[in-house]
């Protein structure tokens, strides 16, 4: 089932092209957006989230056109959004902040709002922090709170802009488990720099470069782009290829086979690096 | 031999016929004795409801003094939640507004009364405009990105917040004006300019971003009203005289008309 249909989407900021005649369709499940900085990921998410209007092209989400005021509001009722840097009021408690967003999401009944706040706090594991002020929460907890506000009202579409950035491994595992669970029943679109997140979570991955989709497929298909180009060898390659020394002391090369190199199975990161070439250097962390 | 709650005592306990001291004794025993506890029938549904109510009490944030006052004035709770997040209604903003007004009043008593009063009248209308400019949208609302993607985002929320901040800042200004030396009507001379500038800012925000609209009108007001007041010799500068006040009223009505007609174009700072 198609949730999002994008046709000929374009957006410019002065001389910079953020989105360039982009066509996409996205359905239920978890879809990952990968791409170097400035590839247009956040702009695309903001356009889909109705925070920004494109210069050209058409967006349809659940058959609704956000360019039309009434349909935009209808779409916002079915949307949960976690921005890249969710600015949360530091002096609000976690529960008060969620209560505020619940009102913005038109949950006007007090009882209904309280139940919903309780539900999302439980879902992100912050029940015991309900009365803690935002400024006293750790970075990971704030990120969870950001996700909790996105979950209010049980949205059909979740847009998450780099949800795992800056999290420790434990918190990242928590987010992954939660996002994969959410993706079972709704459409989740997440932008990330973490190729590990994509391989762990996404059924589908779209790679953007300079506002265009340069890859659209499964994580396995992305990894396969580097098939026959990843090698392990005792000595470094002569040059021209990307390589690094592993913890075992071997050299892992992406590109031309080094002397004595044994082929290894490529990862998503290998596929991504092969696809983007030099541009990828700014994207992979 | 250990003591246990016998059947008649348990029945009296369940039916609420025991005096408080015996209830406490049975409570204490039940907590320590699983056998007796299992004999007390539990109404799971009632327990769930009670637990929910307790959790509500624990987790629900207590309303602040402003919220409590507005609640007494009849505003619904969810509306208060929206207004409570308005940047210009936070304590820091209110404290700054009070400080500016206090300074104006003190200056009026300490220095040349006519000059101080004139500057008070020129400056006071800027406070509501400043509050409107910061009531919604970037860069003053850190949660604007989240807010802008909710169904409540847009003109209605901007107008609610603007009304609240104009109301509060004008009320504070009125208190300060009442404390000023001089004839009583002088105190009200800034009200219509303030109303015009506030409504004008919102009307202009249907064409320009909110902070830009506020900045333009505020600058224009300071140049015109300040300039005329400095140049004038009369006790009451012409910009606060009866003729000017009629003009402000007419212009405010016009601005309100434009705002009503173009309210859907009210741009709170989104790139739309």
DSSP per-residue codes, chain A = -EEEEEEEEEEEETTEEEEEEEEEEEESEEEEEE--TTSSHHHHHHHHTTSB--SEEEEEETTB-TTSHHHHHHHHTTEEEE-SS----TTSBHHHHHHHHHHHTT---HHHHHHHHHHHHHHTT-GGGTTSBGGGS-HHHHHHHHHHHHHTT--SEEEEESTTTT--HHHHHHHHHHHHHHTTTSEEEEE-S-HHHHHHH-SEEEEEETTEEEEEE-HHHHHHTTTT-EEEESS--SSSSEEEE-TTS-EEEESSPPTT-EE----HHHHHHHHHGGGGGGT--
pLDDT score recorded for residue A32: 95
Q: Are B267 and B201 in contact (CB under 8 A)?
A: no
Q: Which residues of A7-17 are buried (b: 16+ CB within 10 A; e: fewer)?
A: eebebeeeeeb
Where do we find the tokens 């333009």? B216
Of A50, A83, A95, the CB nearest to B146: A83
Q: Which residue of A has its CA nearest to B157?
A: A104
Q: What's the token pair of residue B222? A: 């300071």
pLDDT score recorded for residue A170: 87
Q: Are A22 and A11 in contact (CB under 8 A)?
A: no
User: How does pLDDT run across B177-213, given as a tens digit for each residue?
Assistant: 777 776 666 767 888 898 899 999 999 988 888 888 9
pLDDT score recorded for residue A77: 96
Q: At B69, is the pLDDT very low, low, confident or very high (cuts 50, 70, 90)?
A: confident
pTM of the model: 0.79
In what order do the strands lie in the sheet containing A157-161? A79-82, A157-161, A187-191, A29-34, A204-209, A212-217
Where do we find the tokens 């762990």? A200
Q: CB neighbours of B257 closer than 8 A, spacing ≥ 6?
A: none
Between chain A and chain B, the number of residue pairs with CB atoms below 8 A apart is 95
Same domain, residue pair B174 and B258: yes
**Which residues of chain A, if any, have pLDDT below 70?**
240, 278-285
Same domain, residue pair B36 and B113: no
Residues in A lying within 8 Å of B, measured between beta carbons = 49-53, 69, 73, 76-77, 79, 81, 83, 86-89, 91-93, 95-96, 99-101, 103-108, 110, 113-115, 117-118, 121, 130-131, 149
pLDDT score recorded for residue A114: 87
Same domain, residue pair B21 and B124: no
Phi, psi dihedrals of residue A161, rounded to the nearest 5°: -95, 105
More confident of the two residues B272 and A208? A208
Same domain, residue pair B11 and B140: no
CB-based contact (8 Å) between B143 and chain A?
yes
More confident of the two residues B267 and A66? A66
Same domain, residue pair B157 and B95: yes
Q: Which residues pair with A24 in a beta bridge?
A: A6
How many structural domains compose chain B?
2
Q: Are A151 and A40 in contact (CB under 8 A)?
A: no
Of A87, A121, A130, the CB nearest to B145: A87
More confident of the two residues B91 and A154? A154
Phi, psi dihedrals of residue A49, rounded to the nearest 5°: -85, 5
Q: At B218, is the pLDDT very low, low, confident or very high (cuts 50, 70, 90)?
A: very high
**A165 exposed, middle or buried (CB, 10 Å; 0-12, 13-18, 19+)?**
middle
pLDDT score recorded for residue B269: 46
The answer to whether residue B1 scores a pLDDT higher than 60 is no
Q: At B272, is the pLDDT very low, low, confident or very high (cuts 50, 70, 90)?
A: very low
Same domain, residue pair B50 and B73: no
Q: Which long-range contacts (CB under 8 A, 24 or more apart) does B100-105 make?
A: B100/B127, B101/B127, B101/B172, B101/B173, B101/B175, B101/B176, B102/B176, B104/B176, B104/B180, B105/B176, B105/B179, B105/B180
Measured on CA atoms in the order B237, B241, B244, B249, is the torsion positive or negative?
positive
Q: What's the token pair of residue A189? A: 């679109």
Is B258 inside a domain boundary? yes
- Asked casually if ipTM beats, i.e. exceeds, 0.95, the reply is no
Give the mean pLDDT of chain B.
Answer: 80
A100 and B77 within 8 Å at the Cβ level: the answer is no
pLDDT score recorded for residue B105: 77
Q: Which residues pair with A2 in a beta bridge?
A: A27
Is B256 inside a domain boundary? yes
Tell me how far CA of residue B250 lies from CA of B159, B225, B241, in angstroms.
Answer: 21, 17, 15
Neighbour tally for B135: CB within 10 Å: 29
The answer to whether residue B230 scores a pLDDT higher than 90 is no
Output DSSP code: residue B82: H
Q: Which residue of B has its CA nearest to A71?
A: B151
Q: At B271, is the pLDDT very low, low, confident or very high (cuts 50, 70, 90)?
A: very low
β pairing state of A56-61 and A79-82? unpaired
Same domain, residue pair B138 and B24: no
Where do we find the tokens 């209308």? B125
Is B216 inside a domain boundary? yes
Same domain, residue pair B100 and B169: yes
Q: Distance (Å, rounded) from C-alpha A117 to C-alpha A102?
A: 8
Same domain, residue pair B130 and B212: yes
pLDDT score recorded for residue B91: 66
Q: Which of B133, B59, B66, B81 is nearest to A104 (CA)?
A: B81
The mean per-residue pLDDT over the stretch B140-152 comes to 89
Q: Distance (Å, rounded) from C-alpha B270 to C-alpha B151?
A: 14
Is B138 inside a domain boundary? yes
Same domain, residue pair B250 and B140: yes
Is B111 inside a domain boundary? yes
Neighbour tally for B101: CB within 10 Å: 22
Q: CB neighbours of B111 closer than 8 A, spacing ≥ 6?
A: none
A103 and B82 within 8 Å at the Cβ level: the answer is yes
pLDDT score recorded for residue A280: 57
Q: CB neighbours of A96 closer than 8 A, spacing ≥ 6?
A: B61
Tell me how far CA of residue A269 lies from CA of A236, A258, A263, A265, A272, in angstroms.
Answer: 20, 20, 16, 11, 5
B272 and A83 within 8 Å at the Cβ level: the answer is no
Same domain, residue pair B17 and B125: no
Residues in chain B with CB shorter than 8 Å from the CB of A77 are: 151
Superfamily of domain A2-78+156-218: P-loop containing nucleotide triphosphate hydrolases (3.40.50.300)
- Pure H helices in B33-154: 34-39, 44-59, 65-72, 77-84, 91-110, 113-123, 126-133, 144-147
Q: Which residues pair with A26 in a beta bridge?
A: A4
Is B1 inside a domain boundary? no
Domain limits for position B237: 65-265
In what order do the strands lie in the sheet containing A230-233? A242-245, A251-254, A230-233, A262-263
Q: At B58, is the pLDDT very low, low, confident or very high (cuts 50, 70, 90)?
A: low
Q: Where are the domains of chain A?
A: 2-78+156-218, 89-147, 223-282
Of B59, B143, B271, the CB nearest to A131: B59
Q: Are A26 and A2 in contact (CB under 8 A)?
A: yes
Share of chain B above pLDDT 90, in %: 12
β pairing state of A212-217 and A230-233? unpaired
Same domain, residue pair B128 and B250: yes
């Amino acid at each position: 089932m198609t949730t999002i249909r994008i046709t000929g989407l374009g957006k410019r900021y002065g001389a910079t092209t953020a989105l360039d005649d982009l066509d996409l369709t996205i359905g239920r499940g978890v879809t990952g957006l990968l791409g170097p900085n400035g590839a247009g990921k956040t702009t695309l998410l903001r356009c889909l989230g109705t925070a920004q209007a494109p210069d050209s092209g058409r967006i349809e989400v659940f058959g609704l056109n956000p360019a039309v005021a009434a349909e935009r509001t209808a779409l916002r009722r079915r949307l949960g959004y976690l921005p890249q840097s969710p600015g949360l009021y530091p002096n609000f408690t976690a529960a008060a902040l969620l209560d505020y967003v619940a009102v913005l999401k038109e949950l006007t009944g007090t009882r209904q709002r309280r139940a919903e706040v309780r539900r999302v706090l439980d879902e992100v594991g912050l029940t015991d922090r309900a009365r803690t002020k935002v400024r006293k929460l750790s970075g990971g907890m704030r990120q969870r709170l950001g996700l909790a506000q996105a979950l209010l009202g049980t949205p059909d579409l979740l847009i998450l802009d780099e949800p795992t950035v800056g999290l420790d491994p434990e918190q990242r595992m928590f987010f992954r488990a939660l996002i994969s669970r959410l993706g079972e029943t709704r459409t989740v679109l997440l932008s990330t720099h973490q190729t590990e997140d994509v391989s762990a979570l996404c059924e589908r991955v779209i790679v953007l470069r300079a506002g265009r989709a340069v890859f659209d497929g499964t994580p396995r298909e992305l990894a396969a782009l580097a098939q026959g180009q990843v090698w392990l060898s005792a000595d470094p390659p002569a040059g021209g290829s990307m390589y690094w020394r592993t913890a075992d002391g071997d050299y892992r090369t992406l590109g031309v086979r080094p002397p004595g190199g044994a082929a290894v199975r490529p990862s998503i990161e290998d596929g991504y690096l092969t696809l983007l070439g030099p541009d990828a250097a700014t994207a992979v962390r | 031999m250990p003591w246990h709650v016998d059947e008649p005592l348990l029945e009296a306990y369940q039916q609420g016929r025991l005096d408080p001291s015996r209830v406490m004794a049975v409570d204490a025993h039940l907590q320590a004795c699983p056998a007796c506890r299992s004999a007390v029938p539990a109404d799971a549904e009632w327990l769930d409801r009670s637990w929910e109510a307790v959790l509500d009490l624990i987790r629900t944030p207590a309303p602040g003094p402003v919220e409590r006052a507005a609640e007494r004035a009849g505003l619904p709770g969810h509306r208060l939640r929206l207004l409570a997040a308005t940047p210009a209604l936070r304590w820091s903003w209110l404290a700054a507004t009070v400080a500016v007004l206090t300074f104006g009043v003190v200056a009026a008593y300490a220095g040349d009364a006519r000059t101080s009063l004139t500057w008070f009248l020129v400056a006071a209308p800027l406070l509501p405009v400043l509050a409107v400019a910061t009531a919604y949208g970037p860069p003053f609302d850190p949660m604007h990105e989240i807010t802008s993607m909710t169904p409540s985002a847009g003109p209605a929320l901007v107008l609610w917040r603007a009304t609240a901040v104009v109301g509060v800042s004008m009320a504070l200004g009125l208190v300060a004006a009442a404390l000023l030396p001089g004839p009583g009507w002088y105190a009200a001379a800034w009200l219509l300019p303030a109303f015009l500038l506030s409504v004008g800012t919102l009307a202009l925000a249907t064409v320009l971003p909110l902070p830009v609209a506020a900045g333009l009108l505020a600058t224009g007001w300071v140049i015109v009203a300040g300039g005329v007041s400095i140049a004038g010799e009369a006790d009451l500068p012409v910009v606060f005289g009866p003729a000017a006040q009629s003009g402000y009223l007419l212009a405010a009505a016009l601005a309100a008309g434009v705002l009503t007609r173009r309210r859907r174009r009210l741009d709170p700072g989104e790139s739309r």
